[in-house]
Homo-oligomer: A and B are copies of this chain.
Amino acid sequence: MKTLTTGDIAKMCDVNLRTVIRWIERGDLKGFKLPGRGNNRVQLEDFLQFLHQHGMPIPPELSGEDNFRILIIDDEAAVARSIGRVLRSAGYETAIANDGFQGGSLLMKQQPALVTLDLRMPGISGYDVLKFIRTTPETAATKVIVISALDHSSLQRALDEGADAVLSKPFDNQQLTELVKELLPLPADPRSSPTE
């Protein structure tokens, strides 16, 4: 059972600690007191409900749990849209980057949980991108599926450099969907129901 202190909440809501205590005193936010001097604790679940009830945004620190955003990096707009369509219908959020620059900025801005990466894009080596993702702390844990029409040894190299999976073009939609579901299981998916 994860609990939060008043300080945690104050930081997350960008509000004074005093105010958080008043919310709890007033009953707006459900919490309980520790025996000692009565330090407050709030259960994560209660806090999330509180945020939802008041239409407040969910702080990025807490949104990691339900991050199902996928970034599609592919210079061929048609291919990218096609992938996007398939993944959206499977229940994921998608964003498309048609060049390396957009790819890099959307990666940092949206912090997607998974990236599909075309190995061969004009001016940029997919391997470099892979290496960059893996060596940047913010994105080191991001799942990467490399998609390419290149030969087997190229795909093997991608795996060696840190790709979580590869998919050789052309691929069919079911292959893609299954691969993504394996790497990033949706909550409704039976595989992802952690009991406890």
| A34 beta carbon closer than 8 Å to chain B | yes
Asked if residues B104 and A128 are in contact (CB atoms below 8 Å), the reply is no
In whole angstroms, what is the CA distance A15 to B32 when docked?
Answer: 13
Closest approach, in angstroms, between the C-beta of A61 and any C-beta of chain B? 8
| A191 beta carbon closer than 8 Å to chain B | no
* Chain A residues touching B, range: 35 or more
The complex is assembled from copies of this chain, and their number is 2
Asked if residues A55 and B41 are in contact (CB atoms below 8 Å), the reply is no
In whole angstroms, what is the CA distance A122 to B124 when docked?
Answer: 8
Asked if residues B28 and A35 are in contact (CB atoms below 8 Å), the reply is yes
Report B-chain residues with C-beta under 8 Å of the C-beta of A13: 1, 3
7 CB contacts below 8 A, A to B, read A1-B57, A3-B13, A22-B36, A29-B35, A32-B56, A35-B54, A99-B128
From the candidates B12, B41, B104, name the one contacting A101 in the complex (CB within 8 A): B104
Given A14-B41, A32-B55, A122-B122: 12 more A-B contacts, CB < 8 Å = A3-B13, A35-B50, A99-B123, A101-B101, A101-B128, A103-B104, A104-B105, A104-B108, A105-B107, A107-B108, A122-B124, A123-B124
Q: Which residues of A contact B (CB under 8 A)?
A: 1-3, 12-15, 19, 22-23, 26, 28-29, 32-36, 41, 43, 50, 54-57, 59-60, 75, 99-109, 121-124, 128-129, 132, 136, 138
In whole angstroms, what is the CA distance A23 to B41 when docked?
Answer: 16
From the candidates B2, B105, B128, B136, name the one contacting A136 in the complex (CB within 8 A): B105
